Structure formats: structure tokens, C-alpha cells
């Protein structure tokens, strides 16, 4: 089931990462408006996946929250977790031992209509630039393939720091590409980690070849930085928030 799911995802991604797709989206953005077309394109992407798959599968998430980052399920016992840009699959459905599982996504209301209303985790319809939770609320914040989708990267980082408890963990997985797209306006390079060093201790960081996020990680091919060819890569990082942190977005470059 997981193999078939990945094959479907790879086919969809193959078309989304083409020049003609970018041309259509950019032309539509000019005609309709960037913010609206971004939302509609993201929603269409998930609707297409829903049509292809029927019921969304989420079995692949648990190993990336646990084994991959050298954590076990016991670590999450009684903890509050938030997944930024969670999507509709139920990324935190595995975490039944946690005190609270929050999926934050500006399309959450649409996801509920696609079957997410049956999930145990709670979906919050909100962007990451203004997270509707109090300071120091979460023990763990995650972003798996979502930070390049936000409109304001610096403000999103400020907000995730604000709601994360001191010594809390931030688990980060991202596509690396320097060319912004309509759905990924905050494209960034490997130096994205510089934005976190002031506030976080970087416990682990890895760079991989490829643009199929989870498949690239499983393949485990280290990114060859000596090869200057422009191409996608995948970055993963496990970070721990320092006791003293900075929440001023103007200080981030």
C-alpha cells in the first residue's frame, strides 16, 4: 500500500515540477491574484491525490517522527505537538500517547470535508505567521515540507519559536530549491539553518539528493555540494530551543 501510494505521489510531483505547470500557475496568478491561486492550487493538489487514492493513508509518518530523529513513542507521552502545514492525511494520528495533537494549516476547513473530520488530531485553520496559541505552549513543533509554502518565512519562524517551550524540539524536513513558485513562495537554500542558530541548538542535520521528500530520505544519498548543478535537495534537522530566545523577526536575515 505504501509503495503504491509513493508511486502515485511521484507521478503527481513529476507534473507539478515542470516548466509548463509553472507557466500555467503563473499565468493564472497574474489573472486571478497570487494569494487566491496559491490556495486553489494547493487544494487542487490534495483533491487530485484524494481522487487517486480514495482514502488518505498516513502510515508513513510515525517513523519520521520517531525512529528517523532517534526518538521513541514514549518520548511523546503527555506532550503537546503541533505540525505546521499538516495537510489532510492525519500526520499526527499515530501519536495517541500525546496530550494534544494539533495540525495547523490555512486549508484545514477544506481538509475536514475531505475526511480529516474523522481524525483524532485537531485541525486549526490558520497560517503560521499568526499561530493562535499562547507563548510556550508546545513541547514539539514540526514542519515537514511546509516552511517553503508560507508567505512570510521570518514571521513564521518567530511564531514557531514563540509557541515552543524552552528546551522544546523543532523537527524540520524541507525541500531545498532556490526558485520560488506560486505554492512555494518562500523557497530557500541550505543556509536556511542560519536563521535558527541564534535560538536553537542544532542536534542533527542531514542533506540528501532528490526531490521526493520521504523517498529521498529513505534512499539516503548524501547531497554532493561539490556538484554546482542547480537541483532539488532535501534537508532534515532536529533542533532544541534554547532557554533564552529571540522573537524579533527584524533581526532575521
Chain mean position to CA 12: 18
Residue among 36, 145, 150, 139 at smallest CA distance from 89: 145
The reported pLDDT for the residue numbered 8 is 44
Q: In what order do the strands lie in the sheet with 164-176?
A: 122-124, 100-104, 80-84, 138-144, 164-176, 233-241, 200-209
Q: In CATH, what is the architecture of 58-251?
A: 3-Layer(aba) Sandwich (3.40)
Q: Compute the distance between CA of residue 58 and CA of residue 2 in angstroms, rounded to an integer.
A: 9
Q: Which residue has the higher pLDDT, 19 or 93?
A: 93
Confidence of residue 182 (pLDDT cuts 50, 70, 90): confident
Average pLDDT in the chain: 88
Cell of 192: 536556511
pLDDT of residue 14 exceeding 60:
no
Q: Compute the distance between CA of residue 6 and CA of residue 212 in angstroms, rounded to an integer.
A: 9
The reported pLDDT for the residue numbered 178 is 82
Cell of 117: 473530520
pLDDT digits (tens, 9 = 90+) for 183-214: 899 999 999 999 999 999 999 999 999 989 99
Domain ranges, ordered by start, for the chain = 58-251
Residue labelled with grid coordinates 507534473 = 15
Amino acid at each position: 500500500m505504501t509503495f503504491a501510494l509513493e508511486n502515485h505521489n511521484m507521478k503527481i510531483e513529476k507534473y507539478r515540477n515542470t516548466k509548463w505547470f509553472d507557466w500555467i500557475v503563473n499565468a493564472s496568478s497574474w489573472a486571478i491574484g497570487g494569494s487566491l491561486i496559491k490556495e486553489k492550487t494547493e487544494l487542487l493538489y490534495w483533491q487530485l491525490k484524494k481522487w487517486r487514492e480514495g482514502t488518505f493513508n498516513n502510515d508513513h509518518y510515525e517513523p519520521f517522527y520517531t525512529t528517523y530523529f532517534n526518538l521513541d513513542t514514549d518520548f511523546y507521552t503527555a506532550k503537546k505537538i503541533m505540525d505546521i502545514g499538516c495537510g489532510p492525511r492525519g500526520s499526527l494520528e499515530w501519536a495517541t500517547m500525546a496530550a494534544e495533537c494539533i495540525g495547523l494549516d490555512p486549508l484545514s476547513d477544506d481538509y475536514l470535508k475531505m475526511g480529516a473530520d474523522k481524525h483524532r488530531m485537531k485541525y486549526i485553520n490558520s497560517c503560521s505567521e499568526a499561530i493562535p496559541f499562547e507563548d510556550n505552549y508546545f513541547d514539539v513543533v514540526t514542519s515537514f515540507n511546509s516552511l517553503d509554502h508560507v508567505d512570510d518565512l521570518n514571521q513564521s519562524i518567530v511564531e514557531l519559536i514563540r509557541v515552543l517551550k524552552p528546551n522544546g524540539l523543532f523537527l524540520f524536513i524541507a525541500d531545498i530549491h532556490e526558485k520560488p513558485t506560486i505554492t512555494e513562495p518562500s523557497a530557500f537554500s541550505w543556509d536556511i539553518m542560519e536563521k535558527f542558530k541564534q535560538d536553537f541548538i542544532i542536534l542533527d542535520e542531514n542533506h540528501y539528493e532528490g526531490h521526493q521528500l520521504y523517498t529521498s530520505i529513505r534512499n539516503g544519498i548524501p547531497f554532493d555540494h561539490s556538484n554546482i548543478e542547480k537541483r532539488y535537495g532535501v534537508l532534515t534537522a532536529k533542533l532544541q530551543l534554547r532557554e533564552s530566545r529571540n522573537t524579533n523577526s527584524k533581526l532575521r536575515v
